[in-house]
């Protein structure tokens, strides 16, 4: 209990010193400058859309894929005419801490939020590590991508899945 009292006393003293420093411009006590306060690490909110692309009698784009419909209507995806949602996952990636998710193919997606590169026009550009392991556990993709916040990218596509091809779309943003 005594430790908590000491910590509380130090916190009160810090607050008082900070308010005195703000009241007297240019004068900051020596000891708070040496104190390093812990800061919450930034995180990235990511969404992974898993798509099954096929050619067949049931043509069209699943209504749940409206977020990426424009991307699916451009090459190389124009080789297919049917797109179904295979999975949708929301992941929160803390900086420099890998977060993993199981994919519809039986494989594994691992994301690593590295840092924010640029903030221009109110949008951040995030540097993300993306690793995709197939169902057998073999690494299929290991790359680092720069993702503009809120835009959709496809870092992985082409794996045979069911009667078509698997496509992974990824979108990340900072909260």
Domain that holds residue 114: 43-173
Whole-number pLDDT of residue 97? 95
In a shared domain, residues 85 and 22: no
SS3 assignment for the chain: CHHHHHHHHHHHHHHHHHHHHHHCCCCCCHHHHHCCCCCCCCEEEEEEEEEEEECCCCCEECHHHHHHHHHHCCCCHHHCCEEEEEEEEEEEEEECCCEEEECCCCCEEEEEEEEEEEEECCEEEEEEEEEEECCCCCEEEEEEEEEECCCCEEEEEEEEECCEEEEEEEEEECC
Total structural domains in the chain?
Answer: 2
In a shared domain, residues 21 and 48: no
In a shared domain, residues 17 and 94: no
pLDDT at 22 over 60: no
Instruction: Tell me the whole-structure pTM to 2 decimals.
Output: 0.74
In a shared domain, residues 105 and 56: yes
> pLDDT tens, 138-151?
999 999 999 899 99
Please report, rounded to a whole number, the percentage of residues in the chain having pLDDT higher than 70. Answer: 77
In a shared domain, residues 25 and 66: no
In a shared domain, residues 9 and 56: no
């Amino acid at each position: 209990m005594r430790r908590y009292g000491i910590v509380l006393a130090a916190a009160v003293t810090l607050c008082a010193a900070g308010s005195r420093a703000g009241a007297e411009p240019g004068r900051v006590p020596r000891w708070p400058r040496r104190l390093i306060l812990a800061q919450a690490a930034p995180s990235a909110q990511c969404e992974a859309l898993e798509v099954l692309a096929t050619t067949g009698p049931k043509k069209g784009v699943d209504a749940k894929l409206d977020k990426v419909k424009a991307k699916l209507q451009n090459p190389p995806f124009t080789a297919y005419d049917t797109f179904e949602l295979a999975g949708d996952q929301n992941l929160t990636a803390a900086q420099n801490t890998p977060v993993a998710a199981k994919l519809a193919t039986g494989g594994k997606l691992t994301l690593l939020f590295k840092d924010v590169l640029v903030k221009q026009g109110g949008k951040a550009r995030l540097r993300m590590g993306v690793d995709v392991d197939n169902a057998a556990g073999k690494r299929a993709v290991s790359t680092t991508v720069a993702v503009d916040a809120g835009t959709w990218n496809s870092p992985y596509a082409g794996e045979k899945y069911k009667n078509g091809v698997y496509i992974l779309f990824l979108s990340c943003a900072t909260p």
